[in-house]
Amino acid sequence: LGQEYPLTEDQISAYRRDGFIALEGVITGAELQAMRDAVAGAVEAEDREDLRPMDERSACEQLFIQKVNLWQRHEAVKPFVMARRFASIARRLAGVPAVRLWHDQGLFKKPHNGRATPWHQDVHYWPHQQMQHQLSMWLALKDATVENGCMSFVPGSQKFPDLEPIDLCEPKDLYKVAPQLKGVRARTCELKAGSCTFHHGLCFHYAGPNRSDQMREAFVVIYMPDGTTYSKLSHICTDGGGWQVGQPLTEPMFPLLGA
Ligand SMILES: O=C(O)CCC(=O)C(=O)O
């Protein structure tokens, strides 16, 4: 995980043009197995403690099992979140001098969960004063397919920063929010386990329902440029932390990732 993943100039340009890119085999073999076991073990252990049946969970909680900042509670997950290899991809794609961890999340969609994750842009949910260079790695711990709910993206949609935010719990029609995207064909990214997509925080994305018999297992690590400052929006990762508006988000919650 200390080794760099090679990125070509073409891949970097494609990311900057489209707002997303799929990368094959960013983690493989025994490392992939260890990462999958660490994350799945952590997500399943935390989910077991939640005894509420599906219909007593909120609309958002019914989309997927979402476990945020596993690195803080599970030593076995931490090396994968801190990994230089992943952070270095994020830094080079974003084209910034240094990146920090914003947060990680296990996003597991249960078998036969008929709910799609609605089209949305991420940065509107985050208490950041800057929104131009955040990006997420969405890594398939098991193969991600159309059948089990892989991701799709609208190329070029990261160029629209001023659209109305879409609440995941109360989805809106993408084309009502962003009529300028009508006619732009979305791209669906099936991924082999150990492959990932990186998407810009403003790139519209969606994930389908899980119609398979197996859990859809994805792990997301979200990066922000060093120097990103707090905007006062309420968010689980900053609430109660005593952050002041304009203050840079830094250690210990948002470590600089040597990359
Ligand atoms: O995995 C999903 O269902 C949605 C993921 C997503 O929206 C994200 O990683 O930003």
Q: Which of 121-135, 168-182, 193-207, 235-249 has the lowest mean pLDDT?
A: 168-182
* 18-46 mean pLDDT: 98
What distance separates the 2 farthest-apart alpha carbons in the chain?
48
Indicate if the pLDDT at residue 259 is higher than 80. Answer: no
Q: In whole numbers, what is the pLDDT of the chain averaged over residues?
A: 96
pLDDT at 46: 96
CA distances from 109 to 113, 128, 166, 213, 217 (A): 7, 28, 20, 11, 7
pLDDT above 70 covers what percent of the chain? 100
Residue 55, helix vs strand vs coil: helix
Backbone angles phi, psi at 240, to 5 degrees: 80, 0
Q: What percent of the chain has pLDDT over 90?
A: 89
Q: Please state whether 184 falls in left (phi above 0), alpha (psi between -120 and 50) or beta.
A: beta
Distance 179 CA to ligand 1 centre (A): 22
- Ligand 1 pocket by Cβ (under 6 Å): 64, 107, 117, 122, 136, 138, 205, 207, 218, 220
Is this structure's pTM higher than 0.95? yes
Q: In this model, does residue 29 exceed pLDDT 90?
A: yes
Pocket test for ligand 1, best of 105, 137, 138, 204 (most atoms within 8 A of CB): 138
Q: What is the pLDDT of residues 137-176, one digit of tens each?
A: 999 999 999 999 999 999 999 999 999 999 888 888 999 9
